[in-house]
Structure 1
């Protein structure tokens, strides 16, 4: 009955963001940036890392380079060091967000196709799937790391919809960041945003179709009402 209701509502797929939505990796990205930039003599603050939440790592490194140029290592090497450190932390701590498996189950029981669309490199995506034991869950896995445009451009989400063979307006995007939410809205997808608690009262999240406090709150009834 739930699947039939969703079919009438034209929702056929759900596309999950990864960092901050599936895994509590934002503290790891912050830690990795603080460590690696310190190693090359570039001073950044934790607030700097918070301000770039949702941005691609190469864009973060480029921004820092423009503000404080360095010559000791290449920007590509700095990106690789940051990603490698995040992978280490993910593999060690396995930080699944509360309600992740429940939310996946709700979508599967509703008959939705599932995809993962992240701005992170595929190496980190695969490390996360390994750490959280999510093999075989997603019919499509898409990285935006090598795309010409990153979020808030909709390209990574459009690629995920194409990989699933579903029109974007029949897909739901689950996001945590405003940058990611903008990307999903630009792709003309239905959207559910689950921001971190400290940012939950920010007014710009009003553009989402729904805002939830946790993945625990995703339900079949909610999906059917979109």
Structure 2
């Protein structure tokens, strides 16, 4: 079966463009601990790729706490993350080269993230990469975030490209499920310590970092 021609690359943001997954985990752990939850940093890996309100709901379902206010708790986590990004945010390996290579191949470039517009703006400004994207879509106000495919479908529609001609690049299992459900081609770039897990088999391809994307795209043409 031949692979459909690539016409667009859609990037996830956290953990793909910016090294922010550890920051999310630290912020999530800090806020949940302050609410009295006895969870570890390792436990927060379970929520990677989920939208922030779903993260808060996830933990409340397991360890209910009094005076539950999803929006307030979510905002506390987001503020911690933004603060860190603006001070210490660093791009993942190979980001700029990957974006430039997509341009050189004539591919449209999109962003599909569970993160809020505040975090998107903080990341794009910090890394100075906003000009590369022809469509930026957030799951912030959608009924469902990833693993639901809507944010990916919205991004493909904004690029005016059929999802089957889009390549989604993800670091999380929830994100891959979303991209597969959107009928996109997929690349998984999981964090190194998780790269050997069998679950990444759901991706069409697996790379060690975005630094390998230029060679991958060259092989497609």
TM-score tier, shorter chain, comes to: over 0.9
| SS of residue matched to 2:10 | strand
Matched, 1:92 2:84: no
Q: Contact (CA 8 Å) 2:4, 2:164: kept in 1 or not? A: no
Which blocks of at least 5 consecutive residues in structure 2 are unaligned?
A: none
Q: Which runs of 5+ in 1 are unaligned?
A: 1-7
1:161 partnered with 2:127: no
C-alpha distance in 2 between matches for 1:22 and 1:67: 31
Report the CA distance between 1:68 and its aligned residue. Answer: 2.4
Matches within 5 A, 1:146-225: 146-219=141-214, 222=217, 224-225=219-220
Secondary structure of 2:131's match? coil
2:75 to 80, 99, 119: 80
TM-score, with length taken from structure 2: 0.93
Find the aligned partners of 1:122 and 1:10 in 2 and give their Cα distance: 31
1:124 CA displacement: 0.5
Equivalent position to 1:136, from 131, 134, 158: 131
Rounded to whole Å, the distance in 2 between the matches of 1:192 and 1:37 is 32
Secondary structure, counterpart of 2:137 in structure 1: strand
Once the two structures are TM-superposed, the CA of residue 206 in structure 1 deviates from its matched residue by: 1.8
Q: State the partner residue of 1:56.
A: 51
Corresponding residue SS for 2:186: strand
Task: Kindly state the Cα deviation for residue 9 of structure 1 after the two structures are TM-superposed.
Answer: 5.3
Rounded to whole Å, the distance in 2 between the matches of 1:73 and 1:125 is 26
Render the CA deviation track for 1:15-69: whole Å, top value 9, x for unaligned: 0000111111111011101211222222221121112111111111112222222
